[in-house]
Structures are given as C-alpha cells and as structure tokens.
Amino acid sequence: MTAPYDPEDREKVVAKLPASLRQELKIRAAQLGIDIKDAVTEGVQAWRLDDSVAVPVDTSGASSFSTYLPTGLYAEFKNDCKARETTYNQGIAQSIRLWLDTHPVIARRRSASDTARRIVVCNQKGGVGKSAISNGVSQAIAETGARVCVIDFDPQGHLTRHLAQEMLGIKEPSLAKYMLGEADGRIRDLLVPIEHGKFAGRLFLLPACKDAFLLDAKLATTRHVRTKETALEKALEELEKEFDYIVIDCPPSLGYTMDTALYYARTREGEAPKSSGAIIPVQAEDTSADAYDMLSEQIEDLVDDLDIEIAQLGFVVNLYDSRKGFVVTSSLNSWKSFGDPPVITVIGDLKEQREAVRLKLPLLYYAPESEQAESMREIARKVTA
C-alpha cells in the first residue's frame, strides 16, 4: 500500500467519467496549481488507504477520460477495485471525488495593499480575435477563484455583445467619460456581472460605449487629463481595490487610446516582472506580422519616452489551420522563432468559439471541454503564474 512510485515513470490509463466530474477536476486542479495526473494519483492513493465504504458516484452519461498514473500503481488499484467489488470506472470516480472533497479552494482575501494585475489584449490589426481571447482568458482566470473585471475598450463592442450585454448609451456615463473627467458617481456602477456557472460572483464586464470613437481626439485637447497616458489608470483606480485581475480588450488602434492601455499595463514599482503586461493575438499570415511591427514600435517609444517597462507576455496564434498549407505553417514557425516574446499557445480555427458567440454564451460555459476552452486555460495559467 505504501510502495514508492517514481513520478516520472508513468503509464497511460483510460476511464469513463461524467462530464461534470471531469470539469470539476480540471477547474480545481487549475485553482490549486496542480497537474491533473498528480491530482488523480493523490486521489487513487488516498482511496486505497481509505477502508471506509465510499459513496457511489453517479457516472451516467460518462465518456472517455485519460491520464497517467505511476507505473505499478495502476495494477494495484485495479486489484483493489476487484477486492472491493467495485468497477474500475467507479473506483476512479470515487478517487477523484475523494481528492476534490479533501482539497477545497481557500477563498482569496485581498488586503488594502494588493495591486490588481493588469492584462491588455492588443494588436492594431482587426479580426485577429482580441475580443474572443480577452473573453476566454477572463473566464479561465475567474475559474481559478480570482475576481476578474474584463473591460471592453473597443467602441465596436464585440466583447460586450459576445456576452449578451448592451453597449452603454452615447449619453450615459462610460469609461471614456470617466477618463475625460466628464462623468460623476462610481465607475463600479457600470459593471455587469456574468452569472454563468463557475464565473458567478467573480466575473464582471465593463461594457463598451460608442463614444470611445472620440476618445483619441478628446485626449489630445482636453484640459481634464493631466497627462494623456494616465487617463485610463486614474479612471480604473477604484476597480483595482476590488479585483484580482483587470483584462482589457483593446481597439485596433495605435493612437492615444492605445497609449493609455499600454501605460496601464506597465510594470509598476515593487511589482514582480511580467505580473502585468500585454497579450498579443496574431494569425499565421504576413499582415499580422506587419501589424505587430507597428505595435512593437509604439511600445518601444513609450518605454523610451516615459522610462517605464511594459512586458510583452506573449503571442497567441489564433484561428490556426494547418490545412491551409505552407503560408500558415511557415508563418507559425516565424512566430515561434521570436523567442521573446514567446508563443503562449496556438488556437485552432474550430467551431465552438463561433457557436458560443452566436448563442451569446461564455465559451468556457458553453463548451468547457473544447480544445479552444483548454487553450484559454493554458493562456491563463501562463500569464498568471
């Protein structure tokens, strides 16, 4: 029962689990920063040591689930299942349930000195998936137990509509008006909770408003902004006291609006490197590379002019389809050859994201097991590590 197992020497095991249990395992493992195979291993070992009669797990509607257990443990576990007159699938399900019940999530407590981590999703080229990635990454971070505010900073409002919300009226208070000193009251009052599944109470949207089209021109002339670059930071100061992460879906622009977003994501004094920064969605084609060159120049200009550090957290190569041939495969290799910033992940051109947008549902709620949902979790893990 207590034989040591080499964590590096593992064998693949396949079981059938209900989707709800698989999803709960994935989310809890992400919340606790534990690899799924290690969580299952701990659960199996605990189940083998627990002589009490386990409560059966409802496995109706189960489908295939695979992971890796230390070599030798798998065979011993199967023998235990046989001795307890329990099916292997039921034994695995009970082991996972036991691990989940003994590894609760401890609620995060923010102190007055905590600084919200700030992630801007930007590329001056339209159509690369900024809104989808801002949306999905925010959901993935919220799944881990963090409080997340996702901000639709694009006057086109794609992110707002993706989440089935209405854009703010042109005469109503908006983020742009707060940035320009033209709004009274609390910006907190503009937030909309996204009450779906695992996000309930933790994910909030600041909707877009069409008046953001005028923001660049007004920032250039207004007297209410002491320095143009700090306008966004001053407007969001109140929200930083409430949220663990603020994610900003930026417009396809290289003007003053983008300057405020990039400045907002700078590394602040006392903040660990790459705690905040920019995610850059691209596609595997040449125009994305041209657009990134311009964005990179803008970042470098801000860094030099203001003597600040802006971390480029990495590229997300979106809508990738290798069947399109040499152009996309060679372009992907070019993105990977950058090295710094790195390619965080590659997201395939699959149907689930489009379906979620069509139905106006969060991707990780609509298709939590999809490849695209897993990619969003991968981004979240890497940028929040």
pLDDT digits (tens, 9 = 90+) for 207-254: 999 887 778 777 777 655 445 789 999 999 999 999 999 999 999 888
Q: What is the arithmetic mean of pLDDT over 46-73?
A: 87
Mean pLDDT of the chain: 89
According to CATH, what is the number of the domain 10-102?
Answer: 1.10.1220
Burial class of residue 174, CB neighbours in 10 A (0-12, 13-18, 19+): buried
Nearest in space to 362 (alpha carbons), one of 144, 200, 147, 196 = 196
CA angle 142, 200, 381 (to 5 degrees): 10
**Average pLDDT score over residue span 60-69:** 89
Given this model, what pLDDT does residue 1 score? 41
DSSP 176: H
User: What is the distance between the alpha carbons of residues 91 and 15, in angstroms, rounded to a whole number?
Assistant: 10
Residue with tokens 């290798």: 322
Residue 53: band (very low, low, confident or very high) from pLDDT cuts 50, 70, 90: low
Q: What is the mean pLDDT of residues 127-146?
A: 93
Average pLDDT over residues 54-68: 87
Rg (CA), the chain: 23
- Tokens 């950058």 map to which residue? 338
At residue 107 the predicted structure's pLDDT band, cuts being 50, 70 and 90, is low
Query: Which fold is adopted by the domain 117-384?
Result: Rossmann fold (3.40.50)
Phi and psi at residue 296, to the nearest 5°: -60, -40
Cα 42 from Cα 233, distance rounded (Å): 44
**pTM for this entry:** 0.78
What is the largest distance, in Å, between two alpha-carbon atoms of the chain? 79
The amino acid that residue 31 corresponds to is: Q
Residue-range domain boundaries for the chain: 10-102, 117-384
